[in-house]
Amino acid sequence: MVAGALVLTLAACGGGGDDKAGPGDGKDERATQQGKQSTAAVSIAPKSGARDVDTSGALKVAVAQGKLTEVTVKDAKGAKIDGTISGGGASWTPSTHLAAGTKYTVHAVAKDSEGRAAAEDSSFTTLTPKNTFTGSFTPEDGSTVGVGMPFSIRFTRGITSPDAVEKAIRIKTEPAVDVEGHWFGNDRLDFRPEHYWKSGTKVTVDLNLDGVEGRDGVYGEQHKTVKFTIGRDQVSFVDAKKHTMKVTQDGKVVKTIPVTTGKPGYETWNGQMVMSEKLAVTRMNGETVGYGGEYDIKDVPHAIRLTTSGTFIHGNYWGGGAFGNYNASHGCVGLRDVRGGYDKGVPAAWFFNHSIVGDVVVVKKSHDRTVDPANGLNGWNMSWADWKK
């Protein structure tokens, strides 16, 4: 009897194990499920191995029956291209254009609804353009400039896709300030804040034009980083009626200088004018500005350019008693000087030595109109609303 009971007990134990560990317990099913391939299907355009790929709009990553979790695009040097996953994980697009004549690799990962990953890799090469454009810019990298200096770039070809070009130029400042661009025609783009820069501001420009299609079939070929610093705050105010100029630093008058401005018929423009060039000595010939042979002075000292068309604030050794008394120039602002510019004590020498490119000269109470904002680096003569249009 005892032996029989023992057999029954063992049998009972065996029967219980079958109920709990049989094929219907789910373990084998889960193992089979985990071994299945992901249903997520990743697609990359352009196809792998493609050549002459356009630098904008061609690169796209998408997934069916899943969500993208990772997309990495690198050039041959390992530099990554930023991008954005959108559509709830359905697609990825780059946030910038690609460089021309460059090989890129793409690695994309997606997961299906069960969390199983699928990956896809690809590589392609962008087009090498037959026609290109570049931009010459001011100020130069590493320079220290005045509070009125915009970042100005002039292109070698007329731009018909201004949004694409402007998007490729990114400006960061310390401290942060809103900086906006404005086009003068189709070959010049200037950037500035609403008000003059604050002294000490550090500006970094990422000029990423390589691969930007500025006009049909014409691509940029530059990628440079330009850094400049805003120096002390100097703004000078010329009163054409009183024949004086007040030089201010940080809003305080540091020197008042007698000047002469444009005589009747040759009045100096009113407005805010930014110093764009300093010349210790230069030649000024009336022929170059439409004044025929009225003057030709081969050794004008201490000359600082205010407009592209030829307005300067400069030393004047021939003006006699005009300074502080009456207007006698052909449109420039003249300061007393000596021939050869050797005397550091004269007003023109002092002003020249205390000025840097980017400083502002404001002319008021002249009988002429306000200077054209496009004539020199003089966009400050536009309202902020008009600048951003």
Per mean pLDDT, which of 23-32, 185-194, 294-303 is the most reliable? 185-194
Cα–Cα distance measured from residue 274 to residue 356, given in angstroms and rounded to the nearest whole number: 10
Nearest to 303 by CA among 344, 266, 275: 275
Task: Kindly tell me if the per-residue pLDDT of 105 is higher than 80.
Answer: yes
| pLDDT band with cut points at 50, 70 and 90 for residue 272 | very high
Q: What is the mean pLDDT of residues 66-85?
A: 97
| pLDDT band with cut points at 50, 70 and 90 for residue 293 | low
pTM of the model as a whole: 0.86
**pLDDT given for residue 6 in this prediction:** 32
Task: Kindly tell me if the per-residue pLDDT of 335 is higher than 90.
Answer: yes
Q: What is the CA radius of gyration of the chain?
A: 35
What residues does each domain of the chain span? 41-126, 131-230, 234-388
* Per-chain mean pLDDT for the chain: 91
**pLDDT given for residue 35 in this prediction:** 61
Tell me what percent of the residues of the chain surpass a pLDDT of 70.
89
Pick the CATH number of 131-230 from 3.40.47.10, 2.60.15.10, 3.50.50.60, 2.60.40.3710: 2.60.40.3710
DSSP letters, 220-234, are: E--EEEEEEEE-S-E
Q: Which CATH architecture has domain 41-126?
A: Sandwich (2.60)
Could you count the other beta carbons within 10 Å of the beta carbon of residue 88? 8
Task: Kindly tell me if the per-residue pLDDT of 56 is higher than 70.
Answer: yes
Under a CB-based contact definition with an 8 Å cutoff, are residues 126 and 104 in contact?
yes
pLDDT tens-place string over residues 111-123:
999 999 999 999 9
Per CATH, the number for 234-388 is 2.40.440.10
Q: What is the mean pLDDT of residues 128-154?
A: 98
Task: Kindly tell me if the per-residue pLDDT of 5 is higher than 80.
Answer: no
- Residue 13 a catalytic site member: no
**pLDDT given for residue 197 in this prediction:** 98
From the list 243, 302, 330, 332, the catalytic residue is 332
Task: Kindly tell me if the per-residue pLDDT of 14 is higher than 70.
Answer: no
To the nearest 10°, the Cα dihedral for 194, 196, 202, 203?
A: 50
- Asked whether this chain's domains 41-126 and 131-230 adopt the same fold, the reply is yes
**pLDDT given for residue 289 in this prediction:** 72
**pLDDT given for residue 2 in this prediction:** 36
**pLDDT given for residue 11 in this prediction:** 33
DSSP letters, 304-354, are: EE--TTS-EEEEESS-TT-TTT---BSSSEEEE--TTS--TTSHHHHHHHT
Task: Kindly tell me if the per-residue pLDDT of 288 is higher than 80.
Answer: no
Task: Kindly tell me if the per-residue pLDDT of 126 is higher than 50.
Answer: yes
Nearest to 204 by CA among 233, 180, 174: 174
pLDDT tens-place string over residues 349-367:
999 999 999 999 999 999 9
| pLDDT band with cut points at 50, 70 and 90 for residue 85 | very high
From the list 97, 314, 354, 367, the catalytic residue is 314
Tell me what percent of the residues of the chain surpass a pLDDT of 90.
87
Q: Which residue has the higher pLDDT, 12 or 114?
A: 114
Return the residue matching tokens 């026609």: 131
Return the residue matching tokens 């610093």: 229
Sheet architecture: strand order including 333-336: 271-274, 360-364, 234-239, 244-249, 252-260, 333-336, 312-316, 296-305, 277-285
The gap between the terminal CA atoms of the chain, to the nearest Å, is 104
| Residues sharing a CB contact under 8 Å with residue 280, sequence separation 6 or more, in sequence order | 301, 302, 303, 341, 352
How many residues appear in the chain? 389
Task: Kindly tell me if the per-residue pLDDT of 46 is higher than 50.
Answer: yes
- Residue 332 a catalytic site member: yes
Q: Write out the two tokens for 341.
A: 């510019």
